[in-house]
């Protein structure tokens, strides 16, 4: 905040253009990112069938992307317009929402660490729900396949969790050609074979653990995920810090700009009051 004295010994204040335009361009970048996220989310959603949309709404990556994009669009729009127009109301809205998101992220991290067992149970529910809707949503299917390949795992707790899916269900009254099978992403891949057997997961749920382990990954993804988290705590901490720094910068810049605008308004009112009453 800068103050100068005029010819009549009056004080004037001004809003720092560095803070103003730094906050504007900071929000502009994330505002454009939010537009891209919304466009991808809408496009991915339009490609899906209505039945699939209703069946797996809670676990749909496209919906999650769209919701995050809309929320980011609203927050960054307030930051962009508020900083450019020096609007205290929009800047305060931007600052409050950003602070709430930061607090929620911090609380989620702390609660997840304290109640890790309960969090693991919730993760199990999410994975099982995703398995149920595996064939209903192509995005969800690709996400599960990617996770099983990257972590060399199959199912939530184990490979027989795939019986929760109607196509892979292992009961005798199921006529599906994939009965008692697991997805190809569960298979052990060998670089020696020139021809890949995409049906290697066929009938694996009927085999015992040791026999099935010769052809597919039998360990569940939950244990693999927990072990990966324990092994990469520093990496996850760095990612969390990388997400927190832009939020803290946005909060700091918006608060500085709000204080500068308020000081400017107060000082202008003070100088106008002195001009209207020359005896003071």
Q: Check residue 2 and report its DSSP letter.
A: E
Choose among 132, 142, 108, 120: nearest CA to 221: 120
pLDDT confidence band for 9 (50 / 70 / 90): very low
Residue 7 has pLDDT above 50, yes or no: no
Look up the pTM and report it. Answer: 0.69
Residue 173 has pLDDT above 50, yes or no: yes
Please give the full DSSP string across 121-162, using - where no structure is assigned.
Answer: HHHHHHHHHHHHTTTT-HHHHHHHHHHHHHHT--SSSBGGGG
Q: List, for residues 226-272, the tens digit of each pLDDT value.
A: 888 888 878 888 888 888 898 999 999 999 999 988 888 887 777 77
Residues in the chain: 280
What pLDDT is stored for residue 182 in this prediction? 93
- 8 Å CB contact between 261 and 88: yes
d(CA 37, CA 7) in angstroms, rounded, equals 53
Q: List, for residues 13-39, the tens digit of each pLDDT value.
A: 567 889 999 999 999 999 999 999 999
**Burial of 187: CB neighbours in 10 Å, binned 0-12, 13-18, 19+:** buried
Please report, rounded to a whole number, the percentage of residues in the chain having pLDDT higher than 90. 32
d(CA 177, CA 172) in angstroms, rounded, equals 12
Q: List, for residues 44-97, the tens digit of each pLDDT value.
A: 777 765 444 444 445 567 788 888 999 999 999 999 999 989 899 999 999 999
Q: How far is CA 201 from CA 35, 154, 170, 217, in A?
A: 40, 11, 13, 10
């Amino acid at each position: 905040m800068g103050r100068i004295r005029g010819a009549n010994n009056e004080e004037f204040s001004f809003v720092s253009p560095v803070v103003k335009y730094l906050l504007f361009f900071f929000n502009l970048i994330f505002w454009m990112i939010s537009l891209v996220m919304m466009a991808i989310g809408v496009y991915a959603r339009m490609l899906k069938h209505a039945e699939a949309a209703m069946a797996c709404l809670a676990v749909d990556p496209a919906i999650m992307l769209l919701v995050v994009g809309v929320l980011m669009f609203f927050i960054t729009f307030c930051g962009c317009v508020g900083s450019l127009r020096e609007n205290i109301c929009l800047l305060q809205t931007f600052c409050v929402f950003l602070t709430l998101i930061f607090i929620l992220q911090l609380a989620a991290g702390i609660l997840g660490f304290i109640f890790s067992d309960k969090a693991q149970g919730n993760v199990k529910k999410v994975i099982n729900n995703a398995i149920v809707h595996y064939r209903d949503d192509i995005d969800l299917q690709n996400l599960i396949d990617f996770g099983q390949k990257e972590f060399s795992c199959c199912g939530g707790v184990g490979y027989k969790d795939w019986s929760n899916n109607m196509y892979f269900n292992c009961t005798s009254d199921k006529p599906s050609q994939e009965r008692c099978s697991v997805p190809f992403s569960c298979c052990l891949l060998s670089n020696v074979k020139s021809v890949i057997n995409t049906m290697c997961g066929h009938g694996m749920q009927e085999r015992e653990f040791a026999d099935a382990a010769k052809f597919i990954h039998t360990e569940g993804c939950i244990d693999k995920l927990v072990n990966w988290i324990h092994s990469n705590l520093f990496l996850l901490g760095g990612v969390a810090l990388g997400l927190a720094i832009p939020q803290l910068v946005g909060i700091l810049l918006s608060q500085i700009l709000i204080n500068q605008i308020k000081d400017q308004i107060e000082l202008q009112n003070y100088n106008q009051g002195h001009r209207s009453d020359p005896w003071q």
